[in-house]
Amino acid sequence: MRKTPMALALGLTATLALSACGSDDGGSGGGDGGGDESRLDGVSITVGSKDFTENILLGEIFAQALENEGADVTNQTNLGGTNVNREALLSGDIGVYPEYNGTGWTVHLGQEDPSQDPEELYTVTAERDLEENDIAWIGRSPFNDTYGFAANGDLAQEEGGFDLQGMADYLEANPDTTVCLETEFPDRPDGLVLFEEATGYEVPQSQINILDTGLIYTETANGACQFGEVFTTDGRITALNLELVEDPGVFILYNVSYTMQNEIYEANSEVYDEIVTAILEPLDNDKMAELNAQVDVDGDPADSVAEDYLEEIGLN
């Protein structure tokens, strides 16, 4: 999944040309919002993000919100993959980036069997990462951007829609049917194997077509693939001829939080909590998909979409 690409870790040294990202002694310390004084005056922080639309947007939104509170922000959004951002956070090259709870539990903490309860998964991940790595997890989004499948819209209409078992049954009954997948999805522990274990159908190689992420959406929409692996908050699902395959809870939860060095967080925790709550609370699956579509479908710049969203929620 794009949340955990391993190959990008090697780009860390070449990518980072960053300023110090800690909180200066002049930081607000208590989050006093009284009067016209900006609450993060004197705070310097570097904001990172992963290299796909949703995470870039979340990083941009937070970076601009911090600037609006007076912080001196070094914007390193679109920094790279999961490992690049995580290593930069642990080393102090960045101070914060958006991360997914399922990734935190399984990848960063090396744990198995993540909870299917979003609040429980957030809590155990946050507590363990704080204890082991001094990383604070701030907030939790309503949206869950997890793996899923989409069916070609015409096929879904003909068949009355699909859930995962219905998709497996259709694949078994129609051996010429094609499922388009990303390269790593068949081999990931949180990928195709979960579908196969849940449905009892092992997808043969003859039904698998490996494509780049963007092509999966267009090829499934035009019918070259009957089903395609997707990310459930991707704006192209609603913009193209696609219909999500209903998941009863097979795939791992990927709600998002902002992960921050705890020393930075503690210096202004009330302010960060307030900002993150305002940002994340409105972001259900539909709203996050809408923002993603503004970038991926409409072609709007991520920083402009972020600015408009902050105005919409009153943080401009």
- The pLDDT score that the predictor gives to residue 37 is 65
The reported pTM is 0.82
* Residue among 199, 198, 149, 146 at smallest CA distance from 178: 149
Cβ neighbours for 200, distance < 8 A, ≥ 6 positions apart: 168
89: tokens are 């956070």
Buried b (16+ CB within 10 A) or exposed e, 122-135: bebbbebbeeebeb
Phi, psi (deg, nearest 5) at residue 239: -80, -25
- The pLDDT score that the predictor gives to residue 188 is 82
- The pLDDT score that the predictor gives to residue 189 is 81
Tens of pLDDT, residue by residue over 182-219, are 998 998 888 999 999 999 999 999 999 999 988 999 99
Phi, psi (deg, nearest 5) at residue 14: -75, -25
Q: What is the mean pLDDT of residues 3-21?
A: 39
Cβ neighbours for 176, distance < 8 A, ≥ 6 positions apart: none
Q: Are 257 and 279 in contact (CB under 8 A)?
A: no
* High-pLDDT (> 90) share of the chain, %: 83
Strand partners, 244: 150
Three-class SS of 115-163: CCCHHHHHHHHHHHHHHHHCEEEECCCCCCCCEEEEEEHHHHHHHCCCE
